[in-house]
């Protein structure tokens, strides 16, 4: 009996990315069109440009895989991801940034690694942008932030800031929700006893728009969150069930 293809939901959080909507979505469709059932859950986090108008246009033109969602006001990337996953129907979640710097052509490579894992287990396939296309200053910011984070959290991930990740929806719903949680997904999955697999991915030049983050956003604000994640890690207990008397 042929195994049914796994349903995949691609979740994209976005704010003011109108010029990147069509190229990013088109590249995702090209990458996944031959891989069975998939949807693209695009969450417009309170944009004040034409992002949602572009999404509606694509839907009206017949892009059946697209599921647009709009927040009335911006509530941040983590909440946008949480909204997207909550509305996703796929068993496997793919996340990537809306700015066009994550390469959708890498998605199948991460999915292949995910399919090697038992779907009943907890795991996260994390992209690693080894060859960054950012300015030297931005690369330095990320290097410092990643070094501080990996030293404190021991999450086994050299580049947690990479938006391209794959994980089971069943894993995500077990994670504690808080603002900025998307920065710490590998650490939170490890806290569950889950497996982290790092896959090298491409990093593309931004063609449109401007970055929404700066040094304070990457490190200063993140330090408070890191302390919170450390607190969660220290208080997590994982039970190993060896027997049960439950009737089937």
Of residues 37 and 4, more confidently modeled: 37
**Strand ranges, E, within the chain:** 8-14, 38-45, 66-71, 92-95, 123-128, 165-168, 195-200
Taking the C-alpha atoms of residue 23 and residue 97, their distance in angstroms, rounded to an integer, is: 13
- Give residue 160's pLDDT: 78
Query: Could you give the 3-state DSSP secondary structure of residue 93?
Result: strand
What's the pLDDT score for residue 2?
43
Mean pLDDT of the chain: 85
Query: Is residue 105 in some structural domain?
Result: yes
Does the pLDDT at position 153 exceed 70?
no
pTM reported for the whole predicted model: 0.82
Please state the rounded mean pLDDT for residues 130-152: 65
| Residue 1, in any domain of the structure | no
State the pairing for strand pair 165-168/92-95: antiparallel
Residue 130 confidence (pLDDT): 79
Q: Domain holding 155: CATH number?
A: 3.90.550.10
Q: Mapping DSSP to helix (H, G, I), strand (E, B) and coil, where does residue 19 land?
A: helix
Alpha carbons within 13 A on the beta-carbon side of 83: 23
Lowest mean pLDDT: which of 88-97, 140-149, 159-168, 196-205? 140-149
The pLDDT, as a whole number, for residue 112 is 96
pLDDT score of 1:
39
Could you tell me if residue 240 is inside a domain?
A: no
User: Per the domain annotation, does 113 fall within a domain?
Assistant: yes
Tell me whether residue 55 is in a domain: yes
Residue 243 lies in a domain: no
C-alpha neighbours within 13 Å on the C-beta side of residue 201? 32
Provide the residue range defining the domain that includes 207.
8-234
**Does a structural domain hold residue 217?**
yes
In a domain, 149, yes or no: yes
Of the spans 116-120, 133-137, 210-214, which averages the highest pLDDT? 116-120
Q: How many domains does the chain have?
A: 1
Above 80 in pLDDT, residue 94?
yes
pLDDT at 91: 96
Residue 213 has pLDDT above 80, yes or no: no
């Amino acid at each position: 009996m042929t195994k049914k293809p796994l349903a995949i939901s691609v979740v994209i959080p976005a704010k003011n990315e109108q010029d990147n909507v069509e190229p990013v979505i088109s590249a995702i469709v090209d990458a996944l069109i031959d891989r069975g059932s998939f949807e693209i859950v695009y969450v417009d986090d309170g944009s004040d440009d034409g992002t949602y108008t572009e999404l509606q246009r694509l839907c009206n033109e017949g892009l059946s895989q697209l599921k647009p969602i709009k927040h009335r006001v911006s509530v941040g990337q983590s909440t946008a991801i949480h909204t997207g996953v909550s509305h996703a129907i796929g068993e496997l979640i793919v996340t990537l940034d809306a700015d066009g710097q994550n390469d959708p052509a890498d998605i199948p490579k991460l999915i292949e690694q995910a399919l090697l894992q038992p779907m009943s287990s907890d795991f996260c396939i994390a992209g690693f942008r080894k060859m960054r296309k950012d300015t030297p200053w931005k690369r330095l910011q990320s290097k410092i932030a990643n070094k501080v984070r990996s030293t404190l959290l021991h999450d086994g991930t050299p580049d947690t800031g990479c938006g391209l990740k794959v994980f089971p929806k069943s894993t995500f719903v077990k994670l504690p929700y808080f603002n900025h949680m998307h920065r710490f997904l590998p650490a939170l999955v490890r806290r569950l006893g889950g497996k982290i697999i790092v896959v090298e991915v491409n990093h593309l030049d931004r063609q449109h728009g401007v970055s929404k983050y700066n040094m304070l956003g990457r490190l200063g604000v993140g330090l408070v969150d890191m302390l919170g994640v450390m607190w969660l890690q220290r208080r997590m207990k994982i039970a190993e069930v060896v027997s049960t008397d439950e009737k089937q």
